Structure 1
Amino acid sequence: MRSSDDRVYLAPVDHLRAAAAVLVVLYHGCQVLGARLQGREFRPAVDWPHSVNPAWTLVFEGHTAVALFMVLSGFVFTVGARGRPVRYGRFLGNRALRVYPLYLLVALLGLATQVSLPTWRELLGVVTFAAPAQPYGGVFWTLAVEMQFYLVFPLLNRLLTERGPGALLRLLAAVAVLRALVWLSSPVAEPHTVALYLGLAGRIDQFLLGMLAAWAYLRHRERLRAGRRVLLPVAGALALGLAWWFNQVRGFVSDSPLKLVWGTAEGAVWALVVLVYVAGGPSRGVLSRAVARLGEVSFSVYLTHFMVLAVLGEYAAGGPIRALVPAGTPPPAAALWLTLLVALPSTLAVSWLTYHAVELPFLRLRRPYTAPGVETPRPRQHAAAGGEERITS
């Protein structure tokens, strides 16, 4: 369990988790409910929403919340380790206790929607995150990427500790060059970028940038805090502007070579947001605590929101749910209102239950995974022993 001091430290991290979780719900809600209001399924290549309004584009390109989650993973683990060696077995055991209980429950319930019993191949696919297409599996691919990162984090942490940030920067450059070579060597005229964009090869930048942000946080927090009033608006504007630009070029549904660098740019912007926001320290008050509580259940929100949307989608075209939105409201706006009024509150209620009934009992089984060693300097008032037992992702 977190102590009161740890909760104060973690409040900014939980705020960012909450923002990412809400953005994911809004993003998928607009897609799923927007299409169902028109009596059909969402078709990305045809129906991708487009707007010149930056606020709308942040929702339409809400997949950027995945980048924020991945940056937070690299940041949180690196702060938790604080330069000490990571015990590989305990670290992976903790990650399994964090991810698998709720994931397996949702994935197996998804298989239960089939008419026939699942095969051994399907069950193996669930265990390895290569789950077959199912109504609740829209975010499972991100868990596969996270698990791949967990396998290499102890080594990356050692590189950062012993060689400094230059080692990770060189690794970033090497990955970028290799990605470009893969794209250039493709035998087709317009190489597909999906595998690079949705796999660890395209997402490792975001974890590494999160680790670099943690390195900067542990050493320069006071300086960053002093410049927060300027840096935080700049970082937020960059995140909003990048989402707007990506929407204008319809980047998500294209195979543009821009995707080779999109993950890096996206990760760099979110790393700046995380670094400046967390370095500024938490705000105290009812609203801060409420948002932090939402951040605590963000993993449940992430995994269960498709279940809620699947139910609402069956009734979105008519009935009392559709009546919540005035007649004549355009489908994107109607879908956003239904998501805000119904899908998001319903998902939060379900997530509160699954967090306390499924996640929390297993989270309490985790053990410290850092070995004794020289610690990286950190803010004294926010010291937290035990690595992930205090700072969780």
Structure 2
Amino acid sequence: MTEIKERTRDVGLDHIRALAAFMVFSWHFLHYANGYPVPFEGAPSIFPLALLDEGHTGVALFMTLSGYLFAKILDGRSVNYLAFLSRRATRLLPLLFMMLLVEGVRQYFVGGAMLGYLRSLVTGVIEPTLPNGAWSLTVEFHFYLLLPFLLFLCRKSPALLFTAIFLALGLRTFLFIYNGTVFWPAYWTLVGRLDQFVFGILAYHYRSMIIRKHVLALALGMAFCVFYYLYDRMGGFYRMPQYPSPSPIWIILPTIEGAFFGAFIAYYGGSFQHARGLLSDSIARIGKYSYSIYLWHFYVVFLMADYVQRNVMDISYYYTGQVWALICFIALVPFAYVSYLLFEKPFMNLGLSYSTKAGQPQPSLVGLIKAGRNSSG
């Protein structure tokens, strides 16, 4: 069997996927209609909850995790790049195409501009115009295009990847000076997201610096939560001081997110055994279905929040709204499970094998690249 089929799921990393999905779900549940049902003003006094109040950062966690996983899978292996792209396409596109079809049908029945919708699908290959969070898949695809170069740098020395981060910071600084804002490219494109993918790769190669370093991990976690609390308190995504934000914080925010989430993933994934009890397995399953949750939740999350607010109870108080966000998130899991069975699982082992251990015979397709060297971590 090939290496990719032998891999078993990492429970700890599935926990992180579940957390990222819940962050994004909470963000939309709490604030979907310009601060309805929960107003934007203020931040939760229990300061780590600012990460849920500003749950858009869950996208950064997903992207950092993606970089970490590719570094882990490809470390010390020869990679057939064309086969890699084929494998990623068979993994991601079936569910994406189904969601786009459903969205097209919805647009038709609500009288949407079908020509505009079809145009958005074409431009979505380059611009973040795909609906329902699928814009982030465009960013990930752009990351795949850079992956051979990043792996080349990583093979020379993982530290060379800091060059990509410095270049991204420099580009965002230039765009801010030139345009007076850098919010759009920093949030919606690889100009901002590259930091997160790269920090994911770096976190894997330098994971020995954080694994089982509990005091260091706690200090980093506290610092990041305080930072996000202050960011949330000062207006956050929508009100710093307006949307789109002209704040220079968007020059460095993707870097801060990537650096912390990379450390968090390496620490959580490598410092614990992750017991296979009921709670752990349940959270891991949610992580397993997180792609389906991510793409489908847009159709129900706003309706859920509005229904609870109108028919059950007032959830404009942050903590009440957050509890209901958790309840509704759990209620979505069975649907995500069905989606996973239909549109994800059947395609997981399709496509060409794209990696072999160093020294083994190479795959037959052209476009071979070398993965990063073995980490000492």
TM-score grouping bracket, smaller chain normalisation: 0.7 to 0.9
The amino acid of 2:191's aligned partner reads A
Closer, same or farther: CA 282–258 of 1 in aligned 2, 3 Å: same
User: Residue in 1 aligned with 2:195?
Assistant: 205
User: Residue in 2 aligned with 1:42?
Assistant: none
What is the rounded CA distance, in whole Å, between the counterparts of 2:302 and 2:64 in structure 1?
29
Could you give the per-residue CA deviations for residues 63-121 of structure 1, whole angstroms, max 9, x where no partner exists? Answer: 11111111111110011011333211111111112221112211221121223587566
Closer, same or farther: CA 172–379 of 1 in aligned 2, 3 Å: closer
Q: 2:335 aligns with which of 334, 337, 350?
A: 350
Q: 2:144 aligns with which of 125, 134, 150?
A: 150
Matches within 5 A, 1:100-111: 100-111=93-104
Closer, same or farther: CA 99–242 of 1 in aligned 2, 3 Å: farther
What is the rounded CA distance, in whole Å, between the counterparts of 2:61 and 2:276 in structure 1?
25
Q: Does 1:373 align with 2:365?
A: no
Could you give the per-residue CA deviations for residues 294-349 of structure 1, whole angstroms, max 9, x where no partner exists? Answer: 21111111111111224425634433xx2xx3x6x5354443233222x2122111
Query: SS in structure 2 opposite 1:285?
Result: coil
User: Residue in 2 aligned with 1:129?
Assistant: 124
| Equivalent pair of 2:37/2:316 in contact (CA under 8 Å) | no
Closer, same or farther: CA 34–176 of 1 in aligned 2, 3 Å: closer
Q: 1:300 aligns with which of 289, 292, 311?
A: 292
Query: SS in structure 2 opposite 1:48?
Result: coil
The amino acid of 1:315's aligned partner reads Y
Closer, same or farther: CA 366–230 of 1 in aligned 2, 3 Å: farther
| Equivalent pair of 1:22/1:344 in contact (CA under 8 Å) | yes
| Equivalent pair of 1:33/1:316 in contact (CA under 8 Å) | no
Closer, same or farther: CA 132–317 of 1 in aligned 2, 3 Å: farther
Deviation at 1:247, TM superposition (A): 0.7
Query: SS in structure 2 opposite 1:113?
Result: helix
Could you give the per-residue CA deviations for residues 129-168 of structure 1, whole angstroms, max 9, x where no partner exists? Answer: 369999x93412211111111121122112201x212321
User: Residue in 2 aligned with 1:259?
Assistant: 250
What is the rounded CA distance, in whole Å, between the counterparts of 2:128 and 2:63 in structure 1?
23
User: Residue in 2 aligned with 1:275?
Assistant: 266
What is the rounded CA distance, in whole Å, between the counterparts of 2:115 and 2:316 in structure 1?
45
User: Residue in 1 aligned with 2:310?
Assistant: 318
Closer, same or farther: CA 36–259 of 1 in aligned 2, 3 Å: closer
What is the rounded CA distance, in whole Å, between the counterparts of 2:105 and 2:125 in structure 1?
16
Could you give the per-residue CA deviations for residues 234-277 of structure 1, whole angstroms, max 9, x where no partner exists? Answer: 23223322221211222423311111011101110111111111
The amino acid of 1:24's aligned partner reads V
Question: Which structure 2 residue ranges, 5 or more long, are not aligned?
Answer: 239-244, 360-370
**Equivalent pairs: percent with the same residue?**
27
Deviation at 1:361, TM superposition (A): 0.4
What is the rounded CA distance, in whole Å, between the counterparts of 2:40 and 2:347 in structure 1?
38
| Equivalent pair of 2:91/2:348 in contact (CA under 8 Å) | yes
Q: Does 1:160 align with 2:160?
A: no
Deviation at 1:353, TM superposition (A): 0.7
Q: 1:335 aligns with which of 301, 321, 341?
A: 321
Closer, same or farther: CA 99–50 of 1 in aligned 2, 3 Å: farther
What is the rounded CA distance, in whole Å, between the counterparts of 2:34 and 2:166 in structure 1?
40
| Equivalent pair of 1:232/1:277 in contact (CA under 8 Å) | no
Q: Does 1:195 align with 2:195?
A: no
The amino acid of 1:194's aligned partner reads W
User: Residue in 2 aligned with 1:23?
Assistant: 23
Q: TM-score, normalised by structure 1?
A: 0.80
What is the rounded CA distance, in whole Å, between the counterparts of 1:4 and 1:165 in structure 2?
27
Which 10-residue stretch deviates more, 173-182 or 352-361? 173-182
Query: SS in structure 1 opposite 2:171?
Result: helix
What is the rounded CA distance, in whole Å, between the counterparts of 1:147 and 1:160 in structure 2?
19
Q: 1:71 aligns with which of 64, 73, 85?
A: 64
User: Residue in 2 aligned with 1:246?
Assistant: 231
The amino acid of 1:247's aligned partner reads D
Matches within 5 A, 1:19-98: 19-32=19-32, 37=37, 47-51=39-43, 53=45, 54-98=47-91
What is the rounded CA distance, in whole Å, between the counterparts of 1:133 and 1:109 in structure 2?
19
User: Residue in 1 aligned with 2:10?
Assistant: 10
